[in-house]
Amino acid sequence: MTTEPRPPAASRTARRAPAGAAVLREEVTDAIRAAVFEELAAVGFARMSIEGIARRAGVGKTAVYRRWKSKLALVLDLVSVFAAQGLPAPATGSLYGDVRALLEVAAHALRHPVASQVIPDLLVEAARHPEISDAIKAALLDGQRGIAAVIVREAVARGELPEGADPDRALDLIVGPLYWRLVVVRGELPPGYLDDLAASAVLALSR
Protein backbone atom coordinates (compact mmCIF):
# COMPACT_ATOMS: atom_id res chain seq x y z
CA MET A 1 0.00 0.00 0.00
CA THR A 2 1.46 3.34 -1.00
CA THR A 3 0.85 6.56 0.84
CA GLU A 4 0.35 9.72 -1.17
CA PRO A 5 3.07 12.19 -0.19
CA ARG A 6 1.89 15.24 1.71
CA PRO A 7 2.61 18.65 0.18
CA PRO A 8 5.18 20.88 1.85
CA ALA A 9 3.95 23.00 4.77
CA ALA A 10 4.22 26.20 2.71
CA SER A 11 2.00 24.67 0.05
CA ARG A 12 -0.58 23.59 2.60
CA THR A 13 -0.60 27.13 4.03
CA ALA A 14 -1.08 28.57 0.56
CA ARG A 15 -4.05 26.31 -0.04
CA ARG A 16 -5.72 27.41 3.17
CA ALA A 17 -5.18 31.13 2.52
CA PRO A 18 -8.13 31.70 0.15
CA ALA A 19 -10.62 30.40 2.73
CA GLY A 20 -9.20 32.65 5.44
CA ALA A 21 -9.05 35.61 3.10
CA ALA A 22 -12.68 35.08 2.10
CA VAL A 23 -13.79 35.25 5.74
CA LEU A 24 -12.18 38.63 6.28
CA ARG A 25 -12.54 40.19 2.84
CA GLU A 26 -12.42 43.94 3.21
CA GLU A 27 -15.25 44.51 0.73
CA VAL A 28 -17.52 42.34 2.88
CA THR A 29 -16.54 44.29 6.00
CA ASP A 30 -17.24 47.58 4.19
CA ALA A 31 -20.61 46.29 2.98
CA ILE A 32 -21.59 45.35 6.53
CA ARG A 33 -20.55 48.73 7.90
CA ALA A 34 -22.59 50.48 5.22
CA ALA A 35 -25.55 48.26 6.08
CA VAL A 36 -25.26 49.23 9.75
CA PHE A 37 -25.64 52.90 8.83
CA GLU A 38 -28.71 52.12 6.73
CA GLU A 39 -30.24 49.93 9.41
CA LEU A 40 -29.63 52.53 12.13
CA ALA A 41 -31.25 55.21 9.99
CA ALA A 42 -34.22 52.99 9.20
CA VAL A 43 -35.06 51.40 12.55
CA GLY A 44 -32.75 52.85 15.22
CA PHE A 45 -30.32 51.08 17.52
CA ALA A 46 -32.92 49.47 19.77
CA ARG A 47 -34.67 47.68 16.87
CA MET A 48 -31.55 47.04 14.84
CA SER A 49 -30.69 43.36 14.45
CA ILE A 50 -27.81 41.32 13.12
CA GLU A 51 -30.31 39.61 10.81
CA GLY A 52 -31.39 42.94 9.32
CA ILE A 53 -27.81 44.08 8.89
CA ALA A 54 -26.82 40.85 7.16
CA ARG A 55 -29.82 41.08 4.85
CA ARG A 56 -28.97 44.64 3.82
CA ALA A 57 -25.31 43.72 3.29
CA GLY A 58 -26.21 40.66 1.23
CA VAL A 59 -24.28 38.31 3.49
CA GLY A 60 -25.10 35.59 6.00
CA LYS A 61 -25.29 36.25 9.74
CA THR A 62 -22.13 34.22 10.18
CA ALA A 63 -20.16 36.81 8.21
CA VAL A 64 -21.26 39.47 10.69
CA TYR A 65 -20.60 37.39 13.82
CA ARG A 66 -17.13 36.47 12.58
CA ARG A 67 -16.24 40.13 12.80
CA TRP A 68 -18.34 41.40 15.72
CA LYS A 69 -19.85 39.51 18.64
CA SER A 70 -22.91 41.78 18.99
CA LYS A 71 -24.65 44.77 17.46
CA LEU A 72 -23.22 46.96 20.21
CA ALA A 73 -19.68 45.87 19.32
CA LEU A 74 -20.48 46.54 15.66
CA VAL A 75 -21.73 50.08 16.31
CA LEU A 76 -18.76 50.85 18.56
CA ASP A 77 -16.41 49.70 15.83
CA LEU A 78 -18.23 51.80 13.25
CA VAL A 79 -18.01 54.94 15.37
CA SER A 80 -14.34 54.26 16.09
CA VAL A 81 -13.57 53.89 12.38
CA PHE A 82 -15.09 57.28 11.66
CA ALA A 83 -13.25 58.80 14.61
CA ALA A 84 -10.00 57.60 13.07
CA GLN A 85 -10.86 59.28 9.77
CA GLY A 86 -10.51 62.77 11.17
CA LEU A 87 -10.10 65.64 8.75
CA PRO A 88 -7.06 67.90 8.92
CA ALA A 89 -7.53 71.35 10.39
CA PRO A 90 -8.22 74.04 7.78
CA ALA A 91 -5.30 76.31 6.92
CA THR A 92 -6.73 79.28 5.03
CA GLY A 93 -4.42 81.87 6.59
CA SER A 94 -7.11 83.72 8.56
CA LEU A 95 -9.33 83.00 11.55
CA TYR A 96 -12.50 83.77 9.61
CA GLY A 97 -11.42 81.53 6.73
CA ASP A 98 -10.59 78.64 9.06
CA VAL A 99 -13.87 78.98 10.95
CA ARG A 100 -15.85 79.19 7.73
CA ALA A 101 -14.09 76.12 6.33
CA LEU A 102 -14.79 74.12 9.50
CA LEU A 103 -18.46 75.11 9.34
CA GLU A 104 -18.67 74.02 5.71
CA VAL A 105 -17.30 70.56 6.49
CA ALA A 106 -19.49 70.16 9.59
CA ALA A 107 -22.61 71.28 7.74
CA HIS A 108 -21.97 68.83 4.92
CA ALA A 109 -21.61 65.97 7.41
CA LEU A 110 -24.63 66.91 9.52
CA ARG A 111 -26.88 67.39 6.50
CA HIS A 112 -26.22 63.88 5.25
CA PRO A 113 -29.58 62.08 5.52
CA VAL A 114 -28.10 59.01 7.20
CA ALA A 115 -26.04 60.99 9.71
CA SER A 116 -29.03 63.17 10.59
CA GLN A 117 -30.91 60.02 11.59
CA VAL A 118 -28.08 58.06 13.18
CA ILE A 119 -26.43 60.67 15.41
CA PRO A 120 -29.52 61.63 17.47
CA ASP A 121 -30.40 57.96 17.97
CA LEU A 122 -26.90 57.09 19.14
CA LEU A 123 -26.91 60.04 21.54
CA VAL A 124 -30.05 58.62 23.14
CA GLU A 125 -28.45 55.17 23.38
CA ALA A 126 -25.31 56.72 24.88
CA ALA A 127 -27.28 57.42 28.05
CA ARG A 128 -27.88 53.66 28.41
CA HIS A 129 -24.51 52.38 27.19
CA PRO A 130 -21.33 54.01 28.55
CA GLU A 131 -19.37 52.31 25.76
CA ILE A 132 -21.38 54.15 23.12
CA SER A 133 -20.98 57.40 25.04
CA ASP A 134 -17.20 57.03 25.07
CA ALA A 135 -17.07 56.13 21.37
CA ILE A 136 -19.26 59.06 20.37
CA LYS A 137 -17.15 61.40 22.48
CA ALA A 138 -14.08 60.23 20.61
CA ALA A 139 -15.78 60.55 17.21
CA LEU A 140 -17.77 63.77 17.63
CA LEU A 141 -15.88 65.71 20.27
CA ASP A 142 -12.22 64.78 20.48
CA GLY A 143 -11.57 65.09 16.75
CA GLN A 144 -13.33 68.45 16.49
CA ARG A 145 -11.62 69.62 19.66
CA GLY A 146 -8.24 68.90 18.08
CA ILE A 147 -9.16 70.91 14.99
CA ALA A 148 -10.40 73.81 17.13
CA ALA A 149 -7.13 73.76 19.07
CA VAL A 150 -5.14 74.12 15.83
CA ILE A 151 -7.38 76.95 14.59
CA VAL A 152 -7.01 78.85 17.86
CA ARG A 153 -3.25 78.26 18.06
CA GLU A 154 -2.70 79.55 14.53
CA ALA A 155 -4.95 82.56 15.15
CA VAL A 156 -2.99 83.42 18.31
CA ALA A 157 0.27 83.16 16.36
CA ARG A 158 -1.12 85.58 13.74
CA GLY A 159 -2.26 87.99 16.45
CA GLU A 160 -5.95 87.52 15.65
CA LEU A 161 -6.74 86.07 19.08
CA PRO A 162 -5.23 86.85 22.49
CA GLU A 163 -2.96 84.44 24.34
CA GLY A 164 -4.95 81.96 26.39
CA ALA A 165 -7.90 81.77 23.98
CA ASP A 166 -9.91 78.66 24.88
CA PRO A 167 -10.29 76.04 22.10
CA ASP A 168 -13.31 74.46 23.86
CA ARG A 169 -15.10 77.80 23.90
CA ALA A 170 -14.19 78.24 20.24
CA LEU A 171 -15.68 74.87 19.38
CA ASP A 172 -18.89 75.69 21.27
CA LEU A 173 -19.25 78.99 19.45
CA ILE A 174 -18.43 77.61 16.02
CA VAL A 175 -20.17 74.24 15.83
CA GLY A 176 -22.73 74.44 18.63
CA PRO A 177 -25.27 76.65 16.81
CA LEU A 178 -24.88 74.62 13.62
CA TYR A 179 -25.53 71.33 15.42
CA TRP A 180 -28.58 72.80 17.11
CA ARG A 181 -29.97 74.03 13.82
CA LEU A 182 -29.37 70.90 11.74
CA VAL A 183 -29.69 68.03 14.23
CA VAL A 184 -32.01 69.27 16.99
CA VAL A 185 -34.30 71.72 15.19
CA ARG A 186 -33.72 70.05 11.78
CA GLY A 187 -34.10 73.37 10.03
CA GLU A 188 -32.77 74.42 6.65
CA LEU A 189 -29.80 76.73 6.36
CA PRO A 190 -30.84 80.00 4.70
CA PRO A 191 -28.49 81.65 2.18
CA GLY A 192 -25.50 83.25 3.87
CA TYR A 193 -26.10 81.43 7.17
CA LEU A 194 -22.62 79.91 7.36
CA ASP A 195 -21.00 83.24 6.46
CA ASP A 196 -22.93 85.03 9.20
CA LEU A 197 -22.26 82.28 11.73
CA ALA A 198 -18.54 82.35 10.98
CA ALA A 199 -18.43 86.14 11.35
CA SER A 200 -20.36 85.97 14.63
CA ALA A 201 -18.07 83.26 16.02
CA VAL A 202 -14.95 85.23 15.11
CA LEU A 203 -16.38 88.37 16.71
CA ALA A 204 -17.24 86.51 19.91
CA LEU A 205 -13.84 84.84 20.08
CA SER A 206 -12.02 88.14 19.55
CA ARG A 207 -13.60 89.81 22.56
Among candidate residues 68, 25, 100, 77, the one with its CA nearest the CA of residue 108: 100
Q: Is 29 helix (H, G, I), strand (E, B) or coil?
A: helix
**Which residues of the chain are modeled with pLDDT < 50?**
1-23
Structure confidence at residue 42 (pLDDT)? 85
The predicted pLDDT at position 87 comes to: 66
Q: What pLDDT score was predicted for residue 121?
A: 76
Give pLDDT tens digits for 23-60: 468 899 999 988 988 888 888 888 889 999 999 999 99
State residue 62's pLDDT score: 92
The span from the CA of 178 to the CA of 197, in Å, is 8
What global pTM score does this model have? 0.67
DSSP run (H or E) holding 106? helix 95-110
Contact 28, 59 (CB under 8 A): yes
Half-sphere exposure of 27 (CA within 13 A, CB side): 3
